[in-house]
Chain A
Amino acid sequence: MIEHYIAKRAFLMGFICLAASPLVSAQTGSVRGAIRFPDGGPAAFASVICRSANQQTVADDRGEFSFNSLPPGTHRFAYRMLGHESPEDSVLVQEGQTSFITGLLDLKAGELDEVVVTGQSEPMTLKNSVYQVRTISSEKIRLRGATNIQTVLNTELGIRLSNDMALGTTDVELLGMSGQRVKVLLDGIPLLDRGEIRESIGQIDINTIERIEIVEGPMSVIYGTDALAGVINIITKKGSGGKSLHITTRIQEETANDEYAFLKGGGVHNENLNITFRNSPWEVSAGVSRNNFGGWQGNSTGRARSWMPKDQLLATASLGYRSDRLTLWYRFNGTDEDLLAQGNVVQEGTPPAPTVTDKKFTTWRLFHQVQADFKANDKLAVNLAGSYTDYSRKTLTTNTNLNTGRTTLSLADGSQDKSSFGSAFGRAIVNYRPGPSLLVIGGLEYNFNDATGARIEGSPVIHDYAAFLTPEIRLINDKINLRPGIRFIHNSVYDAPPAIPSINAKLKLSPKADLRVAYAKGFRAPTLRELYFWFFDASHSMKGNPDLKAESSHSYNAYLNLTLAQSKDLRLEAIAGGFYNSFRDFIDLATDPGDRTIYSYFNIHKSKTTGGSINTKLFWKSFQSTVGLQWTGVYNELLAVEPGLDLPELNWTPELNTNLIYNFSSAGTSLNLSYKYTGVRPRYQLTGNDASGGAVLTQTESFHMADFSVSKIFGKTLTVNAGIRNLFNVTSLTNTALSSGTGHSTTGPVPMSYGRSYFLGIQYNLNVLQ
């Protein structure tokens, strides 16, 4: 309590100090302005950026704005609003005087002007990137009222979430590949996960995210291991110059199906506070978020809950320095997550007493990253990135005697456990541009991983060294962009593939048509668990295999981007494409031929995925929509084991999604509908113990996911979000797979969600200094 009090006092003192600085000094002038849409209506709540003075503000509900302390001289202003853009305006500011300006905000030429960084040496517009990149903007994240990244990914094509009820984790599948074959990056730096599940994606504070970039296909030349199916790069918010103190707070309450209690217990409770102070060239920021989920009972009875209660505390802190030539960032992400598995009452002991056994899983992640960009001159730039992750997961099991109320630690095998993982990462990239048509990008990378824990043999350490080179060549007046690349790897434990090549090309067929074609070899290094797993007891005999080699893939894709219509208030784009990936040496558990009672990991499977998609984007006045259609075919893995069976080679699943946004600009209100249909997922399964009985088709049923939300801005500072998630109330999917009869049966209904829920959130933004 005392700490809280001191914090409040210190915070208040800081607040007063800042607020007391003079707003207009004698050496500055002011600008007042109004922004209009082409039809003359006020562009309420548009952002106004004064690039020349590194300042920005937000217009009020009449579209009016002002800057009060600009140094004398000519200043340039730009206006921003989702789906719109403006030319820059200039105005002369004189000492002690106020200048007036009227801005025009026009419909945006298209999202291709969005900036992406994945795979690039520096931020670049989507239209110029040689990679086919999908982005999810902070605006979309905000409109959906999301409290975690999974909610946002849930309606993306090619992405499927899978939930493990026993572990309380959610994994992300991309193009039919599970999370261990998807690379997850935070600002281009890999996030550590303890096992095959990409838990990390749910342990990043969504309030700090600027956008999410998704690239399908391996980007192994630049990002190394794991990116077989693709890369999900989470980009955090970063400020730009000026002097400001920005405070954001957010409170959101959400039901979990029919369960809800205010602030604590049933439902989802999210609170966030973020403070950013900028005084060019410095920026310092700190934030904290609490994500509390009370779990959901579902089909469980008694104390047990199908969806485990989860409590997350996410802390971020950053310090940045930005000048013309040098940008330096330190960023800290801390995660403290508790998952609680509640047991039912059992009669235990002599004489029997009612007793409950509860398990608490605590994840602790400290992620430090440092990034530096140095621009020596127009030809040479250097980017340095480093990170260190300290990660642990602890299992605490307790028994409580309900007669005495006494809680003590369980003595069961494995009931008290702590696994620790450490990871260090360093990467240096040099960009050298000898002429306008050539950019040479070369880099060195080092990775260090170690682990200790009850189910890990010894204290293994892995060192990984890599060097890569990927020049970008522009030919025929920039009509062709070619980007070949190669990566060389040396690993201290397993035999890494000697060289990983790739080539990406972008052809500008016309001003309205771009074609992107890519080939890449990808690989996934065996994980620490696959190399050093160790679990022997009465009913398990499993161990890792240090002789594993990397999984590898050949990936091909092509995408055609077309602008079908473009006028003053209409723009229609379409992207059509296809992909083909073949994989070999997939690592899986199998009986050890040397000792048939032991399970171990071996390079046994081949696999492939292929598919095609069509995506359209429509911008029409204040309406934006995207509609996408995709078919994904995933290799029938039964054929890898039983090649003699007469079965289709690929199992196909169709997907359809749409995202609709309508802005009532004058009312500051936006409506958002996100919808996705996922078709039946087929799978073949042996009817007996061997191939003699043939195979049978089993299916996971199709489902519809839809979220609807309304967002309204009041004044300059207050935003209210309300909505419904999972409109179709999907909780689990039926699965016709046969029961396998062994200990860990994976058949039965597939859990998807805790069902339809309602949310209401308030966000308060305060710009203390401008």
Chain B
Amino acid sequence: MKHLIAKLFFACLLVGFVNACKEDEPPLPDNLVAFETDAAGLEEDQSETELNVILSRAESVPVEVVLKVAATKVAYDQEYTTTPAESNGEIKLTIPAGQTSGKIKVSKKAGAVLNGDEKLNFKITSAGSPVLLGTKSELNLSFSAIVSETGSLIVSGATDESPYFNGVYVDLSGNKMTVVPRKSWNLGFYTGSEFRVIINPGYQGTAKAIDKTDLAAVTLADTANVELTFAIGEGSPTLVDDWTGDMTKTAIAEVSATDADNKVHLVSFEDGKTTDKWFKVKVTRNSSGGYKVQYARIGETAIKTLDIPKDPEYNFIFASLETDKIVPVEPRKGSWDFQWSYSTYNSGLNTPYWFQDFILINHLGGVEAAEVMISESVTFANFSKSGVTGLNFSKNRDAIGSKWRSGGGPTSGPAVRADRFYVIKDPAGNYYKIRFTSLGANGQRGRPEFEYTLLQ
């Protein structure tokens, strides 16, 4: 009997041996807290500004961040106040569970007299466990406009919901970013001399005119033979706005001064692809020099109307057909250089499809971009202003587009192309060299990193 027990023991041991071979998993990467930027300006005509404090990723518990404030030539409650309030030179900011950022609002006190050489220095001194301090733990806020000379930024494109939830507008000289949920708008109305309407390229917008001018007469029957959704390689480029940004090639026809010439367009977006969820849209000019847009979902009867003014401070005025109002999207046209977003692109077969991490330059605001290939003689580090003259700048909206990263394949993930960098001419005529350094730390998509330096 003994030997049988020995046998069984040995058999069990073998199974145990298999179990024992399981290794421990490596830890998650550190979750770091840091300022979004290390320098910011509160301009003369601004009464307040917000400073973003960013986590690498959301935590399941609230994270308390303690910051120390050092003021130069200003005093709390006399020239400025903060939210959350400063107390004994410290601010305690709580980032709620599930959130990746918190904000400190700095407001000028009404009637405060400022010369522009005042400064506030914020320094993160501690953060609640398990969060650790990141490299950008200090921020200098000047009470004047700044022209940033060099810096690095992490684009906040991702949320817990999706790695391409936001469109992010970047202003290199101001060292700042404006984050807008990509689905927050449907149509953009051009503020230039022509009357042109764009459809949101980051919301899979597609549009086609039908041969009707009476919006009320358009029913589900009119969607027959209209294909607004398509597989990769199959769609027509005329269903989307030109990906190079040519304003004469929009999917929605130019808005005529003659109301009767403006046809109804069927418009589809990512969250409403079945025909009854499509929008029927008719755009005309209104009497005050702006646009009038009438619209409804095809499955609905009530027709809604919005009047859109032209404001030349911006490239476009944006409207959401889903919340029925004008929404703020792009910063003023002189205050941003490029946008990171999900967007329409040329799939390579001259057909439209959608691309994650697309870079669109502010071509209507005068931004231009050139690609520089790294060689033995040309590196990102040694590139200087003198190199700009030999570059071939593009004014196309997709001048950078999808070129900065590779798409990956069955055996590899998408990755930043390390063999190139870009030179961007901003609306004020400054030249910046910029290179992308990560598609997102630790593989976290939607948080690409880049660094830039002013060429002077």
CB-based contact B18/A346 at 8 Å: no
CB-based contact A10/B6 at 8 Å: yes
A743 to B355, CA, bound (A): 12
A396: min CB distance to chain B, Å:
7
Residue numbers in A under 8 Å from B13 (CB-CB): 3, 6-7, 10
A3 to B232, CA, bound (A): 57
A334 on the B face (CB < 8 A)? yes
A276: min CB distance to chain B, Å:
9
What number of A residues sit within 8 Å (CB to CB) of B?
Answer: 62
A323 on the B face (CB < 8 A)? no
CB-based contact B444/A412 at 8 Å: yes
A348 to B437, CA, bound (A): 6
Q: Which chain B residue has the least Cβ–Cβ distance from A284?
A: B7
Q: Which chain A residue has the least Cβ–Cβ distance from B449?
A: A350
Give 26 CB contacts A-B under 8 Å.
A7-B10, A10-B6, A13-B6, A17-B3, A17-B6, A277-B3, A284-B4, A286-B14, A313-B17, A313-B18, A315-B18, A336-B21, A341-B411, A346-B418, A347-B437, A348-B437, A350-B449, A350-B450, A352-B437, A409-B442, A411-B443, A411-B444, A538-B163, A538-B354, A538-B356, A596-B229
Contact code string B155-195 (vs A, CB < 8 Å = 1, else 0): 00000000110000000000000000000000000000000
CB-based contact B438/A348 at 8 Å: yes
CB-based contact B413/A412 at 8 Å: yes
Contact code string A70-82 (vs B, CB < 8 Å = 1, else 0): 0000000000000
- Interface-forming stretch among B22-30, B255-263, B393-401? B22-30
Residue numbers in B under 8 Å from A44 (CB-CB): none
CB-based contact A742/B7 at 8 Å: no
Q: Which chain B residue has the least Cβ–Cβ distance from A7?
A: B13
A741 on the B face (CB < 8 A)? yes
Interface size class of B (residues with CB under 8 A): 35 or more
B415 on the A face (CB < 8 A)? yes
Q: Which chain A residue has the least Cβ–Cβ distance from B354?
A: A538
Chain B residues 361 to 412 lying within 8 A of chain A, measured CB to CB, are 407, 409-412
Chain A residues 331 to 352 lying within 8 A of chain B, measured CB to CB, are 332, 334, 336, 341, 343, 346-352
With beta carbons under 8 angstroms apart, the residue of B18, B234, B274, B449 that contacts A334 is B18
CB-based contact B2/A13 at 8 Å: yes
Contacts A348-B437, A396-B25, A742-B233; A286 near B442 (Cβ below 8 A): no
CB-based contact B418/A742 at 8 Å: no
A357 to B233, CA, bound (A): 31
Contacts A315-B14, A350-B152; A410 near B443 (Cβ below 8 A): yes
Q: Which chain B residue has the least Cβ–Cβ distance from A306?
A: B411
Residue numbers in A under 8 Å from B342 (CB-CB): 538
A325 on the B face (CB < 8 A)? no
Contacts A18-B3, A166-B411; A412 near B443 (Cβ below 8 A): yes
Extra 12 A-B pairs, beta carbons < 8 Å, given A348-B438, A538-B356: A3-B20, A10-B13, A14-B7, A17-B6, A284-B8, A350-B438, A350-B451, A352-B418, A408-B27, A410-B443, A411-B28, A412-B443
Residue numbers in B under 8 Å from A596 (CB-CB): 227, 229-231, 234
With beta carbons under 8 angstroms apart, the residue of B9, B10, B349, B410 that contacts A744 is B410
Residue numbers in B under 8 Å from A743 (CB-CB): 232, 407, 409
A258 to B227, CA, bound (A): 56
Residue numbers in A under 8 Å from B413 (CB-CB): 357, 412
A contact set with B: CB distance below 8 Å: 3, 6-7, 10-11, 13-15, 17-18, 165-166, 245, 275, 277, 284, 286-288, 304, 313, 315, 317, 332, 334, 336, 341, 343, 346-352, 357, 396-399, 407-413, 415, 538-539, 591, 594-597, 599, 689, 741-745
A603 to B190, CA, bound (A): 47
Q: Which chain B residue has the least Cβ–Cβ distance from A416?
A: B25
With beta carbons under 8 angstroms apart, the residue of A3, A410, A412, A591 that contacts B17 is A3
A284 to B234, CA, bound (A): 62
B275: min CB distance to chain A, Å:
10
B contact set with A: CB distance below 8 Å: 2-4, 6-11, 13-18, 20-21, 25-30, 57, 152, 163-164, 204, 227, 229-234, 273-274, 342, 348-349, 354-356, 407, 409-413, 415-416, 418, 437-438, 440-445, 449-451
Residue numbers in A under 8 Å from B17 (CB-CB): 3, 288, 313, 315
B444: min CB distance to chain A, Å:
4
CB-based contact A415/B443 at 8 Å: yes
CB-based contact B409/A744 at 8 Å: yes
Residue numbers in B under 8 Å from A166 (CB-CB): 410-411
Contacts A288-B17, A538-B164, A741-B348; A275 near B412 (Cβ below 8 A): no
Contacts A286-B14, A317-B11, A352-B437; A410 near B442 (Cβ below 8 A): yes
A476: min CB distance to chain B, Å:
52
A744 to B408, CA, bound (A): 10
Residue numbers in B under 8 Å from A594 (CB-CB): 274
CB-based contact B28/A409 at 8 Å: yes
With beta carbons under 8 angstroms apart, the residue of A346, A349, A409, A595 that contacts B449 is A349
CB-based contact B437/A346 at 8 Å: no
**Most chain-B CB neighbours within 10 Å: which of A166, A539, A689?**
A539
CB-based contact A399/B442 at 8 Å: yes
Contacts A334-B15, A596-B231; A349 near B441 (Cβ below 8 A): yes
Residue numbers in B under 8 Å from A6 (CB-CB): 13
CB-based contact A349/B443 at 8 Å: no
A462 to B444, CA, bound (A): 35
CB-based contact A343/B2 at 8 Å: no
**Shortest Cβ-Cβ A-B pairs, 5 listed:** A412-B443, A14-B6, A286-B11, A538-B356, A166-B410
A156: min CB distance to chain B, Å:
28
Q: Which chain A residue has the least Cβ–Cβ distance from B136?
A: A350
A347: min CB distance to chain B, Å:
6
CB-based contact A317/B25 at 8 Å: no
Residue numbers in A under 8 Å from B14 (CB-CB): 286-288, 315, 317
CB-based contact B10/A11 at 8 Å: yes
CB-based contact A539/B356 at 8 Å: yes
With beta carbons under 8 angstroms apart, the residue of B2, B4, B273, B355 that contacts A597 is B273
CB-based contact B6/A595 at 8 Å: no
A205: min CB distance to chain B, Å:
12
CB-based contact A408/B26 at 8 Å: yes
Residue numbers in A under 8 Å from B163 (CB-CB): 413, 538
CB-based contact A407/B26 at 8 Å: yes
CB-based contact A597/B443 at 8 Å: no
Residue numbers in B under 8 Å from A288 (CB-CB): 14, 17-18
Q: Which chain A residue has the least Cβ–Cβ distance from B11?
A: A286
Residue numbers in A under 8 Å from B234 (CB-CB): 591, 596
CB-based contact A411/B7 at 8 Å: no
A412 to B28, CA, bound (A): 12
Residue numbers in A under 8 Å from B20 (CB-CB): 3
A332 to B57, CA, bound (A): 43
A313 to B356, CA, bound (A): 40
A648 to B152, CA, bound (A): 61
CB-based contact A11/B411 at 8 Å: no
Q: Which chain B residue has the least Cβ–Cβ distance from A287?
A: B14
CB-based contact A413/B10 at 8 Å: no
CB-based contact A317/B15 at 8 Å: yes
